Structure 1
């Protein structure tokens, strides 16, 4: 049995801890529960196949993350007897016009052979969009990806913590200096990583997500994820008519998590764009601080102080986090990995 100390209890740290504890390793997590932790302010969309990013290392990571999700969730929920909020109702991807829809259909469909877990890919006429998501606008043509899903970040973290404890690990809600920890230290401090180390370089963005309700008897939990125009997306967030729309992207060096009135107004306007025929009642704004590294490619590897760092998951943390946990736990236990982690252990 090896001893591991994990500093940071977001999706990366929690997943690594869970997978290590499952292997019978001695694991202690220190999590000071900072406000603005990215996992709590994320829509949790699991649909990497629609991305247009060309970074192959990044795509291999999120592709494997989506492939791993169903088995991971089944194992975690059986272990903890706790729901994670995972659902796989598909994803509706909206496009400006028929020409762009066709190009997108061809691009997404081309990934099916290497990713059969994405399910069927179909073009949707405007009337088909309305039939699948009754309160959503029918102004745009769409592509439907059957395997698209979502996870509730807060529920997932709660389950992972419970799973760590169930497998004999420790979870302490307190601060700690990673340089003073015992055993192999895994530093997963997200946006706050610069407090102790300057390599790899971590920058962060404020991302805001507007939670709202419709004045209709909608079934939010039964609706697919909606990938809107540009970076906009919509997800159901609970039983009944509760949804969330996001997100804003604001580069910052500050750590404020106070919602912005300007961004709230912007997101409300976007919600009206996608739900034009119903009244929208704003509920709250979630603010998360998303960490990024070079080329928005997560860093996974040792730093100069021989501390194992995982950071920079950015906007795809909930897609990549669980499989990173699996891979890092295997690597640090001397086992073979599916991914080549050397692809992610870079410096500027």
Structure 2
């Protein structure tokens, strides 16, 4: 049995701690619950196959992560008896017109042979989009991916903490004091990784998400995730409640107060995609999403006995459960699905 100290209690830290404790190790997590943690503000879309990013290492990470999710969720729910907020209702990528729809369909479907977990991939007409998501505008056709899903970060984190402690882990809601520890120190501090002052360099973006309800609409839930035009998503969060986001702003600030400008922008988008509905605000949320070099997550040693997991960015909730498993296997000297050296670039 080895000794591990994990600093940072987001999904990446909790998943790593959970998988290590499950392997029989002595694990302690320190988490100071900073306002603006990306876990709380993320909509948690699990649909990496629609991305147009060409970084093969990044795609391999998120593809394997999406494949692992159903197994991971089933195990965690069985162990804890808790909901994880994970659902697979499919996703629809909206496009401007039929020509773009054909191009998007060919691009997305080309990935299906290497990722059968995508399930059915098909073009959907404007009328089909409206049938699948009755409150949504019927202005746009789309491409439907059956395997697309979502997860609620705060609910998943609660379940992970319960699973971690079931296996004997210790969770301390406090700042790590920086003193040397026996065993291996694992930093999963996200945007606050800049405080450790070691490589890899961490920067962050501020993202904002608007949660709202449709006050006068028919009762609808279990709707597909919507990837709207531009880098915008719409995710169902409950009966007639949705989240729409997100904005992306490079910043050095850790301020987590929503801005009026972004609120007005996102509310305008809500009216655009739900033109026939009365929209009532629920809340605005701000998340600080960390990035490392080339927007590729870093997994590796910063120095002897100090391991770093950071730079998860906008795909943190997709990738973090698998990253936790893979890092635990790596530290156990077990075979990994990913080549960790691909993500250890210092």
| TM-score, with length taken from structure 1 | 0.98
Name whichever of 298-307 and 20-29 sits farther off: 298-307
Equivalent-residue separation in structure 2 for 1:55 and 1:245 (angstroms)? 26
The correspondence of residues 1-348 of structure 1 with structure 2, limited to 5 A, is 1-178=1-178, 180-219=180-219, 221-238=221-238, 240-304=239-303, 306-347=305-346
CA displacement, residues 167-198 of structure 1 (integer Å, 9 cap, x when unaligned): 11110001114452331111001000111223
Aligned CA-pair RMSD: 1.0
CA displacement, residues 228-256 of structure 1 (integer Å, 9 cap, x when unaligned): 01100000112x11100000001100100
Name whichever of 209-218 and 317-326 sits farther off: 209-218
**Alpha carbons 1:178, 1:187 under 8 Å: kept:** no
**Alpha carbons 1:300, 1:341 under 8 Å: kept:** yes
List alignment gaps of at least 5 residues for structure 1: none
Equivalent-residue separation in structure 2 for 1:38 and 1:218 (angstroms)? 32
**Alpha carbons 1:216, 1:241 under 8 Å: kept:** no
List alignment gaps of at least 5 residues for structure 2: none
**Alpha carbons 1:7, 1:178 under 8 Å: kept:** no
**Alpha carbons 2:290, 2:313 under 8 Å: kept:** yes
**Pairwise CA distance, 1:106:** 0.2
Equivalent-residue separation in structure 1 for 2:33 and 2:58 (angstroms)? 27
**Alpha carbons 2:183, 2:305 under 8 Å: kept:** no
Name whichever of 126-135 and 209-218 sits farther off: 209-218
**Alpha carbons 2:135, 2:217 under 8 Å: kept:** no
Secondary structure at the counterpart of residue 129 of structure 1: helix
- Count of matched residue positions in the alignment of Structure 1 and Structure 2: 346
Secondary structure at the counterpart of residue 205 of structure 2: strand
**Alpha carbons 1:123, 1:142 under 8 Å: kept:** yes
**Pairwise CA distance, 1:217:** 4.1
Secondary structure at the counterpart of residue 222 of structure 1: coil
| TM-score, with length taken from structure 2 | 0.98
Equivalent-residue separation in structure 2 for 1:270 and 1:182 (angstroms)? 51
CA displacement, residues 133-159 of structure 1 (integer Å, 9 cap, x when unaligned): 001111011000000000000000000
**Alpha carbons 2:217, 2:277 under 8 Å: kept:** no
CA displacement, residues 64-96 of structure 1 (integer Å, 9 cap, x when unaligned): 000000000000011111101100000011001
CA displacement, residues 21-45 of structure 1 (integer Å, 9 cap, x when unaligned): 1111111000011111001000000
**Pairwise CA distance, 1:282:** 1.1
Secondary structure at the counterpart of residue 300 of structure 2: strand
**Alpha carbons 1:220, 1:237 under 8 Å: kept:** no
Equivalent-residue separation in structure 2 for 1:128 and 1:178 (angstroms)? 56
Equivalent-residue separation in structure 2 for 1:220 and 1:6 (angstroms)? 41
Cα distance change, pair 305–218 in 1 and its aligned pair in 2 (3 A): farther
**Pairwise CA distance, 1:220:** 5.1
